Amino acid sequence: MPERIYNFSPGPATLPVEVLEEAARDIVNFKNKGIGLIELSHRSKEFMAVAEETETLIRQLLAVPENYKVLFLQGGASSQFFMIPMNLLGNGKKATYLNTGVWSKKAIKEAENFGDITVAYSSADVSFNRVPQENEYNVTPGSEYLYLVSNNTIYGTQFASFPEKETMLVCDMSSDILSRPLDIAKFGIIFAGAQKNMGPAGVTVVIIRDDLLDRVADNVPTMLKYKTHADKSSMFNTPPTFAIYCVGRVMNWLKAQGGVAAMQKINEKKASQIYQVIDSGDFYRGHAEKASRSMMNIAFNLPTSELEAKFISEAAAVGLDGLKGHRSIGGCRASIYNAFPAEGVDKLVDFMTGFAADNS
């Protein structure tokens, strides 16, 4: 068996190895009960305890207030793009969106089928290399919510802080949830596909203020109403039991690391090491404006596309995998979510330094 590689994939992404080992044991024989984890009825007391623990840990780690529900849904963040307006808009209701990349653009497209949508800001003309300051856009009066993507995986941009305006925020946090403390009370809905910072693909965590549950029209399909899932503690139908279990184990690991405040410090350190190499000369160019830089995804270019290809290939040969940038902007990208180990960042930094020296 080769050594474990360092996996810079943007998602599904690196998970804590102890979580993988625990899952491997439980899959064959859940807590030594003579039955496998994925064979457990979702209504068994064993699995109900798993789901409850997962929810409790998320609530603790993010300090989720009592008047918010934590839901485990399917269909990815992409299904939230239409569920949000389907549940909160309709009948000409308004919402304001900030367009900071592919994922917000997709969310805008879906929302336009259900409400009166204003795109108050777009960085499309600068290859989405920045997110706006609060004084750069106006929320349309009467908007039910202001929609934003907290971290843009493809471009390596991130909101350093959240808008302070009074409008309720709805936020796609797929690629940075649990990477830093949050004031949940600003948000109506936070959602995140699990496969970056929480676990495997196959479950989407939705945190929703409970007064929003009743806004949905009667004729919306039952499965697409947040209320359906909130009323049944995400057990209206069979939930993705394995994914929920893994999220719970990752939350348990995160708690043992000291929680999200401690994790934020670790993430800042990891990211700053790589940005330092980028900023130390002309060889590497960061894609994002400095004020918009992401702690989770670091997108950068080399002097030529040939050097980028060489960089990606030589890095892979020494166990630094998945450094190819997204096809929409090319170049390189290092995704370093919570579970990405510090030693892997050290190794990348050394490799980048050496590669620049050898190829300048």
List interacting residues with its own copies (CB under 8 A). Answer: 1-5, 7, 9-15, 17, 20-21, 23-25, 27-29, 32-36, 38-42, 44, 74-79, 81-82, 86, 106, 109-110, 113, 193, 195, 199-203, 219, 221-224, 236-243, 246, 319, 321-322
Which one, 78 or 133, has the nearer CB to its own copies? 78
Tell me the backbone φ, ψ of residue 188, rounded to 5 degrees.
-85, -45
The residue type at 174: S
CA distance 338 to 279: 23
What residues are labeled active site?
103, 172, 196
Residue 10: is it exposed, middle or buried by C-beta count within 10 angstroms (0-12/13-18/19+)?
Answer: buried
Which one, 132 or 240, has the nearer CB to its own copies? 240
The token pair at 30 is: 């859940």
DSSP string, 79-129: HHHHHHHHHH--TT-EEEEEE-SHHHHHHHHHHTTTSEEEEEEE-GGGTT-
Which one, 132 or 193, has the nearer CB to its own copies? 193
The least CB distance from residue 2 to its own copies, in Å, is 4
The least CB distance from residue 322 to its own copies, in Å, is 7
CA distance 158 to 100: 9
Which one, 278 or 296, has the nearer CB to its own copies? 296
The residue type at 21: E
CA distance 322 to 333: 8
Which one, 74 or 264, has the nearer CB to its own copies? 74
The least CB distance from residue 185 to its own copies, in Å, is 29
- 3-state DSSP: the chain helix, strand, coil percent, rounded to 5? 45, 20, 40
> What is the per-residue burial (b if ≥16 Cβ within 10 Å, else e) of 191-222?
bbbbbbbbbbebbbbbbbbeebbeebeeebee
The least CB distance from residue 239 to its own copies, in Å, is 7
CA distance 189 to 187: 5
Which one, 150 or 292, has the nearer CB to its own copies? 150
The least CB distance from residue 341 to its own copies, in Å, is 12
Positive or negative: CA dihedral 346, 196, 299, 326: positive
Residue 12: is it exposed, middle or buried by C-beta count within 10 angstroms (0-12/13-18/19+)?
Answer: middle
Is the Cβ–Cβ distance between 271 and 295 less than 8 Å? Answer: yes
Which one, 139 or 334, has the nearer CB to its own copies? 334
CA distance 131 to 264: 20
The token pair at 297 is: 């995804």
The least CB distance from residue 304 to its own copies, in Å, is 24
The least CB distance from residue 294 to its own copies, in Å, is 18
